[in-house]
């Protein structure tokens, strides 16, 4: 199962609304179950450097079906997957990437948000993911 364009647009809308509530400028990427980009939004004046980070967080979340920040905890020096961020063409192992599930709990894609602190990035991505579930 893959996230539909309608679902991806719903996630983008919710993420942008959360960013506006927090007075943030964000980049938000949605990938499908095959890690293909479905939708992307760059809010006016959001950091250009965060475009790649948003996509990387979404890809990372889907590749491993876990939040990017959780993978980051495992990839610390001495951790069980230390240096995993060097695989798969580069992963982003800090918060802001979250798998997106459908109503049945199946993972249908992922969202990545970047443009602020990792805490804010996570909150924005979570709002997008929750809008689909």
Pick the closest to residue 94 from 65, 35, 53 (CA basis).
53
pLDDT band for position 120 (cuts 50, 70, 90) = very high
Summarize pLDDT for 39-79 with one digit per residue, the tens: 999 999 999 999 999 999 999 999 999 999 999 998 999 99
Q: Is pLDDT at 90 greater than 90 in this prediction?
A: no
Cα-Cα-Cα-Cα dihedral sign, residues 16, 22, 24, 27:
negative
pTM, two decimal places: 0.95
The DSSP 8-state label assigned to residue 75 in this structure reads T
**Which pLDDT does position 1 carry in this prediction?**
86
Q: Identify whether the C-beta of residue 113 lies closer than 8 Å to the C-beta of residue 27.
A: yes
Architecture of domain 5-132: 2-Layer Sandwich (3.30)
Cα–Cα distance, 111 to 109 (Å, whole number): 7
**Which pLDDT does position 46 carry in this prediction?**
98
């Amino acid at each position: 199962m893959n996230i539909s364009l309608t679902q991806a647009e719903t996630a983008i809308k919710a993420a942008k609304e959360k960013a506006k509530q927090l007075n943030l400028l964000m980049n938000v990427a949605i990938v499908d179950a095959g890690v293909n980009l479905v939708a992307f939004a760059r809010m006016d004046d959001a950091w250009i450097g965060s475009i790649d980070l948003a996509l990387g967080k979404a890809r990372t979340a889907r590749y491993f079906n876990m939040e990017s920040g959780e993978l980051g905890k495992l990839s610390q020096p001495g951790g069980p997957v230390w240096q995993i961020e060097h695989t798969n063409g580069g992963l982003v192992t800090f918060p802001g990437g979250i798998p997106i599930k459908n109503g049945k709990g199946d993972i249908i894609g992922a969202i990545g948000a970047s443009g602020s602190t990792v805490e804010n990035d996570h909150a924005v991505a979570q709002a997008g993911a929750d809008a689909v579930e």
